[in-house]
């Protein structure tokens, strides 16, 4: 876990995975923490870089200091952390109040979003009286006392049967939170809604809910889907308010399907140039791509566009192999052929996070199947570029 100061307040976050992979930001529900994603993150890391953080006064993040908090403030935290990660565009997934943050991003920052997954949330959640009453009670009674009443509403009965300690564990977690921060977020949910603010935003959105969710029942998700121009909605049978905790394997599988790049009808229409360009920038870096584009003239500009669509769109954007696997394949082929771009892809292999042992094995394969001189040249070049001790 790391910390970053945003608007004078310390925010706890985790940034995991290789920087060349597309960034996925995960936002947790009210009263919980970024730990709700712990069983989902390992499934994502082979293909994605993952950013999680704790809401104000939750987990290890500093509490609010009296100011009224808004969805715009929470979205600003996301964008500050995304900037820290060095990403321009990103995927977002959020549950409950985390989904409210996602709606704010859709409404005001849609150009930054590659996709949005909203779970167990709504354009309107509950009503002002409910939230204001809860805020008042939390200030008076404290989260530790309120947790005994609130936590059982998060999970389906089957979840408690499968894990008898689930309630006690999350009661402890909730009880450690800051009362005032929680109360202000309650008031925000009663005050700030997204009715009429989400239509005609050209963002890929997927909605998920739980059949046993008492806080945001399927009808709430259906109303949100209508606000989002009929965004697809799937309800998980037997699941409550937090699918990443109750059914992490199922949720991870569904999320991976949403995150996968939409390559369209490749056979008949090819991949959009923008898709290839996004991937090319992520893998090679903005500076390299900008330099290649700037150096192109009337002779090779169409060639640059072609390789962006084919190599970076149809190949590197395809999720059948990870970018790590594609890096090893590409490095091995270029080394065997002795091609000029080997230098670029040896550098890229470092960005992707290949280990010294992995690169050694790639080049030893080259020696056996492509020839010792080719491997010897590749080893020498890799050492010049800083590989090895």
List the Cα angle 166/171/172 in 5-degree steps.
Answer: 105
**Full pLDDT tens readout for the chain, 389 residues:** 999 999 999 999 999 999 899 999 999 999 999 999 999 999 999 999 999 999 999 999 999 987 789 999 999 999 999 999 999 999 999 999 999 999 999 999 999 999 999 999 999 999 999 999 999 999 999 999 999 999 999 999 999 999 999 999 999 999 999 999 999 999 999 999 999 999 888 899 999 999 999 999 999 999 999 999 999 999 999 999 999 999 999 999 999 999 997 776 655 567 888 889 999 999 998 888 888 888 888 898 899 899 999 999 999 999 899 999 999 999 999 999 999 999 999 999 998 999 999 999 999 999 999 999 999 999 999 999 999 98
The model carries a pTM of 0.91
Per domain, the residue ranges of the chain are 2-259, 266-384
Residue 383: what are its φ and ψ, rounded to 5°?
A: -65, -40
pLDDT value, residue 36: 98
Return the DSSP state at 312: I
Residue 71, classed as helix, strand or coil, is: helix
Report how far residue 191's alpha carbon sits from residue 175's, in angstroms, rounded to the nearest whole number.
24
Q: Quick one: CA torsion of 172, 174, 176, 179, rounded to 10 degrees?
A: -150
For the segment(s) 266-384, the CATH number from 1.20.1290.10, 3.30.450.40, 3.40.50.300, 1.10.3080.10 is: 1.20.1290.10
* Dihedral of alpha carbons 233, 235, 254, 18, sign: positive
Return the DSSP state at 355: -
Report how far residue 82's alpha carbon sits from residue 90's, in angstroms, rounded to the nearest whole number.
8
Nearest to residue 5, comparing CAs of 53, 50, 38, 41?
53
Question: Please, are residues 31 and 185 in contact by the beta-carbon 8 Å criterion?
Answer: no
Neighbouring-strand partners of residue 16:
50
Residues with Cβ within 8 Å of 14's Cβ and at least 6 positions away in sequence, in order, are 1, 2, 34, 50, 51, 52, 53
Tokens of 271: 């991949």
Which strands form 233-236's sheet, in the order they lie side by side? 2-6, 9-16, 49-53, 23-27, 90-95, 113-119, 205-210, 233-236
Question: Please, are residues 70 and 188 in contact by the beta-carbon 8 Å criterion?
Answer: yes
- The structural architecture, per CATH, of the domain 2-259 is 3-Layer(aba) Sandwich (3.40)
């Amino acid at each position: 876990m790391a910390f970053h100061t945003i608007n004078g307040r310390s925010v706890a976050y985790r940034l995991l995975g290789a920087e060349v992979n597309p960034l996925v930001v995960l936002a947790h529900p009210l009263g919980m923490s970024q730990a709700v994603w712990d069983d989902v993150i390992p499934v994502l890391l082979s293909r994605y870089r993952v950013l999680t953080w704790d809401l104000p006064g939750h987990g290890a993040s500093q509490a609010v200091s009296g100011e009224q908090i808004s969805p715009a403030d929470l979205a600003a935290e996301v964008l500050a952390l995304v900037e820290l990660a060095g990403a321009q565009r990103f995927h977002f997934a959020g549950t409950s109040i985390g989904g409210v943050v996602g709606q704010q991003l859709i409404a005001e920052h849609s150009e930054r979003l590659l996709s949005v997954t909203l779970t167990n949330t709504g354009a309107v959640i509950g009503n002002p009286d409910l939230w204001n009453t809860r805020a008042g009670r939390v200030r008076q009674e404290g989260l530790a006392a309120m947790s005994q009443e609130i936590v059982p509403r998060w999970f389906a009965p089957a979840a408690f049967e499968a894990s008898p300690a689930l309630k006690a564990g999350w009661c402890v977690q909730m009880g450690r939170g800051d009362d005032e921060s929680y109360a202000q977020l309650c008031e925000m949910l009663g005050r700030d809604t997204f009715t009429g603010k989400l239509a005609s935003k050209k963002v890929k959105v997927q909605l998920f809910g739980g059949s046993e969710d008492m806080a945001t029942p399927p009808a709430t998700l259906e109303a949100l889907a209508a606000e989002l121009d009929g965004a697809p909605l799937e309800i998980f049978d037997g699941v409550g308010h937090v699918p990443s905790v109750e059914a992490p394997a199922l949720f991870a599988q569904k999320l991976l399907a949403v995150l996968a790049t939409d390559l369209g009808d490749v056979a008949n229409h090819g991949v959009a140039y923008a898709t290839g360009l996004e991937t090319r920038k992520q893998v090679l870096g903005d500076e390299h791509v900008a330099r290649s584009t700037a150096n192109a003239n009337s002779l090779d500009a169409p060639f640059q566009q072609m390789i962006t669509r084919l190599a970076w769109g149809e190949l590197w954007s395809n999720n059948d192999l990870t970018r790590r696997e594609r890096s090893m394949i590409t490095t091995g082929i270029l080394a065997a052929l002795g091609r000029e771009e080997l230098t670029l892809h040896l550098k890229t292999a470092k960005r992707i996070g290949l280990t010294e042992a992995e690169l050694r094995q790639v080049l030893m394969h080259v020696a056996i199947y492509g020839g010792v001189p080719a491997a010897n040249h590749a080893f020498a070049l890799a050492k010049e570029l800083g590989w090895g001790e």
